[in-house]
Amino acid sequence: MADIALQGITKKFGSNTALRDLDLEIKDGEFFVLLGQTGAGKTTTLRLIAGLEVPNSGKVILDGHDATNWNAAERDVALVLQQYSLYPRMTVRGNLEFPLKSRTQNFTAAEIKERVDRVAETLQITRLLDRKVERLSGGEMQRVSIGRAIVRQPRVFLMDEPLSALDANLRDVLRVELKKLHSELGATFVFVTHDQVEAMSMGDKIGVLNRGRLVQVGTPSEIYARPLNTFVARSVGTPPMNLLDGVLKGNMAVLDAGKFSLPVASPHGGDGNRIRFGIRPEDVVLDDNGPASARVFDIENHGVIKILTLDIDGTHLHATVSAQTQVHIDDTVRFSWKPEKVLCFDPSSGRNLGLG
Amino acid sequence: MAGVRTPREILTNRVAIVAVFVALAIMLTPIYWIASTSFKPRNLATTIPPTVVFEPTVSPFVKLFTKRSQLREQPTQEEYDAAPWWEQMVFDGGEKVVRNRRSGEVTMSGYGDRFTNSLIISIVSTVLAVSMGTLTAYGFSRFKVAGEDDWLFFILSTRMLPPVVVAIPMFLMYRVVGLNDTHLGLIILYTAFNLSFAVWIMKGFIDEIPREYEEAALVDGYTRMQAFFKVVLPEALTGMAATAVFCFITAWNEYAFALIMTNRNAQTAPPYIPSQVGSGLPDWTVIAAGTLLFLIPVAIFTFLLRNHLLRGMSFGAIRK
C-alpha cells in the first residue's frame, strides 16, 4: 500500500528527452492509468517508479520516503509487462515462487506453497501450475504474470500494457478481472496503456501524457467532459471529438465550413475571435430543422449505434446516431448540436478556453 | 502436407541424400585413413596402392605409449617367451621396450603426459574464455559503455593478424617473466586468443535474450548478479556451449605457439606427435595412433554438447 509522487522528473536517453519536468501524484489504493501514444513516456514513467531507470533530475517519493536512489528490489513493487515477462524454462509454479524465494523475502516452503496455491486459485490457473510457461497461451501467460505480481503482495502494481498483446475477447475478460483484483487487494495500481477504452473503463484517475509531458490528470469523466486542450480532447472517445474552426459571434458559432451558425451555451474566447469548437460525435444531432447541412460520406454500423461521417465541403465530422436512424451514403442531412456540450479551444495553443 | 510428397520433393530429397554422402565421404576419408593406419603393421602403412584389407594390430598404440630402442641383437627365445604379448609386438618390429635397469619397470613415452597437458590447458582456457567472454558480452549488451563500438572493434582487431606474427615477441616476454614451458603460459595465451571470439559470439546471444527477464527478476527482489545467474545464464547456455566447442577446438589444435613456447613440462600433444617419427624412418602407424587418440576428446565434447550446438551454431537465428 503506498502513495507515489514524482516531483520534477526529467529523464533523457542520450539527446532524446523522454520526460520533461514531470509532476505526478498517485494516491494509495488508486487505479491510475497513464494514457499516451507510443513514445509519450508512459513506459519510462513506469520504469522510473519501478527503479529500473534513474531520473536525470527530480525525485521519486514512495510513501513519503525519497526512493529516487533505491534499487528495484528495495522499492517493493511488482511489474507486469506486455510480454516476455515470464521466466522461460520454469514451470508456472516456478514462476510464481520466484519472487518469494528472493533474499529479501523470508518464507518457509509451506508458506510459499500456500501463497502460490491461493494466487493460482484466484486467477484460475491451478491446473496449469506444473506446465512449462512456453506451452501456455497468451492469456494464460498474462494470468501467470499477474499472479507473479500479486503473490508477493507488493505495495504497488505497475502494469505496462498488459493486455495489448491479447485478442479482443480475452482483453475484455482480463480487464474485468484486473478491476476486480484491484478492489479486492486495495493496492495502488499504475497501469500504462495507449488504449483509451482501457483507460476510460479501468482508471480511477487518468494521466494523459504527450511527448514527455503530463498534459492532464483527472477522473475519466473529467478528462472526457473537460479536456484541458485539444490533445486530451482527441485522446479519449471513439470516434474522437470533432474540432471545427470558426468565429464566435455572441453566443453563436459561425463555422468556416458551410458558414453555418450554431448556438453555443457557454461561449469563451471573446466575441469575434477565431475559435476551434469542440463537439463530441454523440452530441451532434441529426435534426430536419437543424441549422447546418452536410452530405453523408460514410456509415459505420456498430449494431447499437451508427457512426456517420459527415462532409461539409471537404470538412469531415463524426456523428453518433442510433442504429435505427435511416440514412444512406450521399444523402444530404440537416443537423445541429447540443449547445451546452460545445467546448471552445484556442486555435493556436489548443487550450480549452472554458477552463479559466 | 506430411506423408504426401510431390515428385519434385522426392527428387530434391534424393539429391540431398547424395550430397550428404559426398560431403561425408570427403570429410571422413582422412579420418578413415588415420584410423586404418593406426591399426596397421608398420610395413603396410606406406604401401602403394594402399592396403585396405589387413590383419589389425594394436602394436602402434603399444609403441605410442612406451619408450623404445633399436634392437642390437635378436632376443633369445626365452626372453621372447617371457615377455608379455605387447612387448613381443615391439620385438617383432625390431625394437625393444626400454626398462629401468634396477626395477625393470617399463619406461613410458611422453605421449600420456602431453595428452594430459593438452586436456588441462584446453579445458581451463576454454572455461576462462567462455566465462569471461560471457560476462564481458553481458556488460556490453546491457550497460551503456562509453565508446562501446570502439572497444568491440578493438577486441575483434586482436584477431586481424595471424597469431604467429607475435610468436617471437611473446616468446621473449614469456622468457623474462618465466612463463615459458608452463601450463599457465599456454592457458593465458589460448584464453587471450579465444576471448575476442567469445565476446563477439556471446554478445550476439545475449542481445537476443529480452531484458524484460532480468528486469522482472530485479523487480522481484533479486540483485543484478542473481538475476544474471538465475535468469540470463540459463538462457545463454546454448550460446555458451557453441562458443565452448569453438574455443576448445582452437586451443586443442593449436600448434605453432605450443611448439615455440613449450618443450617438456607443458608441451601439448600437437607438437609432440610429429616429433615421434621413430628411430630411422618415420613410423607412420605410431603417428596415426597418436592422432586418432587425439581426435577423441573433441569428438566426445562435441557429442555431449550436440543438443545445444544445432541451435547455437545458427547464432540464435532460429530462436523463437
**Tell me: the pLDDT tens digits for B78-103?**
878 888 888 888 888 778 888 888 88
- Shortest CB distance from A88 goes to which of B215, B217, B235? B235
For residue B212, the model assigns a pLDDT of: 86
Sort out which chain B residues have CB atoms less than 8 A from A103's CB and list them.
Answer: 221-223, 226
CA angle at A294 for the pair A292 and A299, rounded to the nearest 5°: 130
- Looking at the fold, whether A46 and A82 belong to one and the same domain comes out as yes
Could you count the other beta carbons within 10 Å of the beta carbon of residue A260?
Answer: 21
Number of inter-chain CB pairs under 8 A, A vs B: 64
Among B145, B219, B224, the residue to mutate for chain A (most A Cβ within 10 A):
B219
- Looking at the fold, whether A299 and A165 belong to one and the same domain comes out as no
- Asked if B216 and A79 come within 8 Å (Cβ–Cβ), the reply is yes
- Looking at the fold, whether A18 and A102 belong to one and the same domain comes out as yes
In the predicted model, what is the mean pLDDT of residues B165-190? 91
- Asked if A52 and B212 come within 8 Å (Cβ–Cβ), the reply is no
Contact yes or no for B229/B202 (Cβ under 8 A)? no
In the predicted model, what is the mean pLDDT of residues A186-199? 90
Q: Read off the C-alpha cell for A353.
A: 478556453
Q: Which residues contact B130 (CB under 8 A, 6 or more apart)?
A: B194, B198, B202, B240, B243, B244, B247
A132 strand-pairing partners: A91
Q: At what angle do helices B284-304 and B306-313 cross, to 10 degrees?
A: 80
Radius of gyration, alpha carbons of chain B: 26
Q: Measure A217 CA to nearest chain B CA, in Å.
A: 27
- Asked if A87 and B218 come within 8 Å (Cβ–Cβ), the reply is no
For residue B316, the model assigns a pLDDT of: 44
In the predicted model, what is the mean pLDDT of residues B220-227? 89
- Looking at the fold, whether A62 and A111 belong to one and the same domain comes out as yes
Sort out which chain A residues have CB atoms less than 8 A from B234's CB and list them.
Answer: 88-89
Sort out which chain B residues have CB atoms less than 8 A from A151's CB and list them.
Answer: none
First-to-last C-alpha distance (Å) of chain B: 23
Query: Is 80 exceeded by the pLDDT of residue A39?
Result: yes
- Looking at the fold, whether A34 and A177 belong to one and the same domain comes out as yes
Q: Residue B145: phi, psi to the nearest 5?
A: -110, 125
Boundaries of every domain in chain B: 7-37, 67-107, 112-313
CA A342 to chain centroid, in Å, comes to 23
- Looking at the fold, whether A175 and A264 belong to one and the same domain comes out as no
For residue A275, the model assigns a pLDDT of: 92
Sort out which chain A residues have CB atoms less than 8 A from B148's CB and list them.
Answer: none
- ipTM for the complex? 0.77
**Dihedral sign computed on CA atoms, order B234, B239, B240, B244:** positive
Q: What is the DSSP string of A239-254?
A: TTPEEEEEEEETTEEE
- What's A323's domain CATH number? 2.40.50.140
Q: Read off the C-alpha cell for A267.
A: 461561449
- What element of type H or E holds A167? none
What is B112-313's CATH superfamily?
MetI-like (1.10.3720.10)
- Residue ranges making up the domain that contains A23: 4-235
User: What pTM did the predictor assign?
Assistant: 0.77
Sort out which chain A residues have CB atoms less than 8 A from B231's CB and list them.
Answer: 87
Spatial distance between the Cα atoms of B316 and B320, rounded to a whole number of angstroms: 9
Contact yes or no for B182/B120 (Cβ under 8 A)? no
Residues A123-179 have pLDDT tens digits of: 888 888 998 888 888 888 888 988 888 888 888 999 998 888 888 888 888 888 888
Final residue of a structural domain among A204, A235, A266? A235
Residues B146-173 have pLDDT tens digits of: 888 999 999 888 888 888 888 889 999 9
**Half-sphere exposure (CA, 13 Å, Cβ side) for A322?**
2
- Looking at the fold, whether A142 and A210 belong to one and the same domain comes out as yes
- Shortest CB distance from B221 goes to which of A84, A86, A105? A105
